[in-house]
Amino acid sequence: MTWLGIPADHPFGVATLPYGVFGTPGDPHPRAGVAVGEWIIDLPAAARRLAPELAGAVAGPSLDALLAAGPRVWAEVRARLTTWLTEEVYRDLLAHALVPARDAIMHLPFTVADYVDFYASEQHATNLGRMFRPGQDPLTPNWKHLPIGYHGRAGTVVVSGTEVVRPSGQRRGPDGEITFGPSRRLDIEAELGFVVGAGSTLGRPVDMSRFPEHVFGVCLVNDWSARDIQAWEYVPLGPFLGKSFATSISPWIVPLTALDHARVVPPARTVPLLPYLDDAGAPPWGLDLRLEVRLNGHVVSRPEFAGMYWTGAQMLAHMTANGASLRTGDLYASGTVSGASPDQRGSLIELCWGGEEPVKLPDGSVRTFLEDGDEVVITATAPGPDGAVIGLGAVGGRIGAAR
Ligand SMILES: O=C(O)/C=C/C(=O)CC(=O)CC(=O)O
Ligand SMILES: [Ca+2]
Ligand SMILES: [Mg+2]
């Protein structure tokens, strides 16, 4: 219980304590904050007064120093925050560092080093395979042997709320004609992002068991995708301009430790895995996260992360299996979270089946792909201790007309 008087089921209760970077109209300089209820704890201000030895780790205009500080410092900061919020003696001492969340302007929380996107949902991969590669096996032969991924564009990762300008590019029309112009099949992908804190040494693979030592936390990701540009350009080297124009992330990074109660055993593996990916009997890293995707305020999908075939720990091990090193600020996303039922699909191309089955919204409007002015918001929650709800906040973005 906290003296702040937050309802037990608040998604940003004391069991969550996510980290972000904020400014206020009165004090716009970006600084680290922790969301709790309807408040943000100004982390540098709190540390200066209550924990000067931690001030260096939470200083600066981003979370970069905290990410780099490593798991011992992450645990220490979180323990202090919990003490400050639950022990009455800190009420007056912390008061100066509390800022109303409604006043905050949120910034990109960390410097994105590399950005990798995986493809970990069997249902999504199957659905896309059917649409993009009709007549072939929807799952490629490698799919159950390794978590497929590609390197995306770190420099165009943007914070929730940033306008997404409709991309232009080459596309092939139904008659085979090649034209250049604004995408006509602009889509979303609802994903979970893993934020790397502590880096690793070049040449040394990172074992699955080291996942919590390197991954600081998670955020929500919308991997905006121009399906017409993608379909024409991606053979044989994979996604390029169809996805690099913008990738939105939620402003609050939920620490991995806040998801302890959400850990579940991932789906049964139907193909034997090589030792570096074999997680049978290992501490499970499936995550019971419930996502919601809203288009112009209407829920269009409720994907469940627990059904993802590959876990964040396996993705980390695979990403470094060749000796590639991790850097502070690396972001890797799960791939689109899609479930087995049609109302659990994490992209519009699946929800409208390539345009054949338009989605009807309760306000009478109909969508296949995104129109200018459309707004997409993805939220998620997970179970916490003692019935608490762990919120991941939201990632939202509105489509602006092509420039
Ligand atoms: O199957 C394909 O050719 C394409 C798949 C995607 O566009 C999905 C992608 O970015 C990975 C993912 O989000 O699962
Ligand atoms: Ca994706
Ligand atoms: Mg993208």
User: Do 160 and 247 fall into the same domain?
Assistant: yes
Find the mean pLDDT for residues 213-235. 98
Q: Is 2 a member of any domain?
A: no
d(CA 284, CA 43): 32
Find the mean pLDDT for residues 136-145. 97
E strands of 70-228, at which residues?
A: 98-100, 105-107, 115-118, 149-151, 157-159, 164-165, 168-172, 178-182, 186-187, 190-196, 215-222, 225-226
The whole-chain average pLDDT of the chain stands at 97
Q: Which ligand is closest in space to the CA of residue 119?
A: 1
pLDDT in tens, 184-207: 999 999 999 999 999 999 999 999
pLDDT in tens, 99-116: 999 999 999 999 999 999
Report pLDDT for 8: 86
Measured by CA distance, the residue closest to atom 1 of ligand 1 is: 128
ipTM of the complex: 0.94
CA of residue 223 to ligand 3 center, whole Å: 4
Residue 82, pLDDT > 90, answer yes
How does residue 251 score in pLDDT terms, banded at 50, 70 and 90? very high
Residue among 265, 384, 373, 276 nearest 16 (CA): 384
d(CA 97, CA 38): 13
Find the mean pLDDT for residues 265-284. 96
User: Do 72 and 176 fall into the same domain?
Assistant: no
Domain boundary among 58, 74, 107: 107
User: Do 90 and 135 fall into the same domain?
Assistant: no
d(CA 318, CA 326): 12
d(CA 258, CA 35): 13
**Which atom of ligand 1 is found nearest the CA of 119?**
14
Q: Which ligand is closest in space to the CA of residue 239?
A: 1
With vertex at residue 347, the alpha carbon angle to CA 341 and CA 349, rounded to the nearest 5 degrees, is 95
CA of residue 237 to ligand 1 center, whole Å: 13
Percentage of the chain lying above the pLDDT 70 cut: 100
User: Do 59 and 194 fall into the same domain?
Assistant: no
Tell me the pTM. 0.98
- Total structural domains within the chain: 2
CA of residue 13 to ligand 1 center, whole Å: 34
Domain boundary among 77, 107, 137: 107
What six digits make up the tokens of 337? 């979270």
For 353-376, letters b (16+ CB in 10 Å) and e give bbeeeebeeeeeeebbbbeeebeb
Enumerate residues 6+ apart whose C-beta is below 8 A from 395. 160, 219, 220, 221, 222, 248, 249, 250, 377, 378
How does residue 367 score in pLDDT terms, banded at 50, 70 and 90? very high
Measured by CA distance, the residue closest to atom 4 of ligand 1 is: 128
Measured by CA distance, the residue closest to atom 10 of ligand 1 is: 335
What lines the ligand 1 site, CB under 6 Å? 117, 119, 124, 128-129, 132, 189, 191, 223, 225, 239, 335-336
Q: Is 13 a member of any domain?
A: no
- From 115, 116, 117, 119, the mutation candidate for ligand 1 (largest count of ligand atoms within 8 A of CB) is 119
What six digits make up the tokens of 187? 């889509």
Q: Which ligand is closest in space to the CA of residue 223?
A: 3
User: Do 101 and 162 fall into the same domain?
Assistant: no
Report pLDDT for 252: 98
Domain of 299 in residue numbering reads as 115-400
CA of residue 280 to ligand 1 center, whole Å: 26
pLDDT in tens, 302-311: 999 999 999 9
Residue 38, pLDDT > 90, answer yes
Percentage of the chain lying above the pLDDT 90 cut: 99
* Active site residue ranges: 124
Measured by CA distance, the residue closest to atom 13 of ligand 1 is: 335
Find the mean pLDDT for residues 2-16. 95
Report pLDDT for 376: 99
Residue 1, pLDDT > 90, answer no
Find the mean pLDDT for residues 260-273. 97
User: Do 308 and 386 fall into the same domain?
Assistant: yes
Domain boundary among 86, 107, 128: 107
Find the mean pLDDT for residues 63-70. 98
